[in-house]
């Protein structure tokens, strides 16, 4: 078995294929723009087309779980297929689910997303830390044990997140800086990049915390449809270790429409534009 950390596995993949993560966001609006019905068949068509376009040209695939959940268990069956076929195709699959709860409930999430026998077994999971990063020890332990990763939402790409994320803790640091510092501590035991990453939006100002000191990977939303450019990403993460920055692009790729060559071209273009500006 591959016993490297998620961070190191991802860095290797980024070295081979570039820093692009293809986001899979099968919203009602996106299916309509592809002239597909808003049902599980449209969902599956869209998700598999995005997977195929990403294969061999992107390091990772990020299904947004909310859009699969719209169809209940039938949507989850499609999600299972996308995760397992994505991993079989050599993509690192990141389930974008923003999970997080008290400790005993997080055990359930760890089983769902990281247990080898689970049908939803992914390479990494996004988590939302409102109930406390230190409540997530079972998720961290399970990620380390299974070679999986967590991406903790620290500084989201949307403006509305700033009230909470920029609030000041009892030790007078911003919540986002506090979390980055905690993540760095969780990654201390790793030789290179650890299992715990951070979501930091490309639309955000540089935090006080030195981003090159996380000892873990970054997942970066906000590029393309949300307004940030590759140059913004390059500047924000300029001193970070090689292969530690993964940039998600969703709508700016799927907006190319359902034709496979157009999708593939969009994937390559974003990969090249991002490779040019990242370490």
**What residue spans of 3-150 are helical by DSSP H?**
6-17, 28-33, 40-54, 65-69, 72-88, 103-114, 137-146
Candidates 81, 85, 216, 82; CA nearest to 148 is: 216
Candidates 191, 87, 195, 85; CA nearest to 137 is: 195
> Which of 98, 215, 264, 271 touches a second copy (CB under 8 A)?
98
Which CB sits closer to a second copy, 158 or 212? 158
Per DSSP, 227 falls in state: S
Q: Is 80 in the site for a second copy (CB under 8 A)?
A: yes
- Looking at the DSSP bridge assignments, the partners of residue 174 are 168
Please state, in angstroms and rounded to a whole number, the distance separating the CA atoms of residues 158 and 168: 19
In the region spanning residues 8 to 37, those forming contacts with a second copy, defined by CB under 8 A, are 25, 27-28
The tokens of 17 are what? 């294929």
Q: What is the dihedral of CA 239, 152, 56, 30, to 10 degrees?
A: -120
In the region spanning residues 157 to 186, those forming contacts with a second copy, defined by CB under 8 A, are 157-170, 175, 178
- Name the minimum Å distance from CB 239 to a second copy: 27
Catalytic residue among 62, 98, 235, 242: 98
In the region spanning residues 106 to 135, those forming contacts with a second copy, defined by CB under 8 A, are 106-109, 111-112, 115, 118-120, 128-135
Residue with tokens 């300029």: 238
Per DSSP, 206 falls in state: P
> Which of 4, 34, 45, 74 touches a second copy (CB under 8 A)?
74
Q: Is 85 in the site for a second copy (CB under 8 A)?
A: no
Which CB sits closer to a second copy, 1 or 170? 170
Q: How many residues bind a second copy (CB under 8 A)?
A: 60
- Name the minimum Å distance from CB 12 to a second copy: 28
Active site residue 98: yes
Question: Taking a C-beta distance cutoff of 8 angstroms, is the pair 8, 147 a contact?
Answer: no
Task: Return the active site residues.
Answer: 98
- Interaction site with a second copy (CB under 8 A): 25, 27-28, 64, 66-67, 69-74, 76-77, 79-80, 98-109, 111-112, 115, 118-120, 128-135, 153, 156-170, 175, 178
């Amino acid at each position: 078995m591959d016993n490297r950390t998620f961070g190191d596995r991802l860095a290797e993949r980024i070295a081979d294929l570039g820093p692009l993560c293809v986001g899979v966001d099968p919203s009602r609006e996106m299916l309509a723009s592809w002239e597909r019905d808003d049902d599980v068949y449209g969902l599956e068509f869209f998700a598999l087309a995005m997977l195929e376009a990403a294969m061999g040209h992107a390091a990772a695939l990020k299904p947004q779980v909310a859009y699969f959940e719209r169809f209940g268990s039938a949507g989850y069956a499609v999600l299972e297929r996308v995760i397992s076929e994505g991993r079989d195709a050599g993509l690192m699959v990141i389930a974008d689910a923003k999970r997080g709860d008290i400790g005993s409930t997080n055990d359930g999430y760890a089983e769902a997303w990281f247990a080898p026998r689970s049908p939803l077994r992914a390479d990494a999971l996004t988590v939302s830390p409102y109930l406390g990063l230190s409540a997530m020890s079972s998720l961290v332990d399970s990620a380390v044990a299974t070679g999986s990763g967590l991406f903790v939402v620290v500084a989201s790409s949307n403006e509305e997140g700033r009230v909470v994320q920029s609030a000041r803790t009892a030790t007078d640091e911003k919540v986002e800086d506090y979390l980055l510092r905690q993540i760095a501590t969780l990654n201390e035991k790793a030789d290179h990049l650890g299992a715990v990453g951070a979501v930091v939006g490309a639309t955000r100002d540089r935090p006080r915390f030195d981003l090159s000191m996380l000892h873990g990977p970054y997942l970066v939303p906000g590029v393309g449809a949300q307004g940030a450019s590759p140059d913004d990403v390059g500047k924000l993460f300029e001193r970070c270790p090689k292969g530690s920055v993964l940039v998600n692009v969703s709508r700016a790729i799927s907006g190319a429409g359902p034709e496979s060559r157009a999708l593939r071209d969009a994937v390559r273009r974003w990969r090249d534009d991002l490779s040019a500006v990242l370490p």
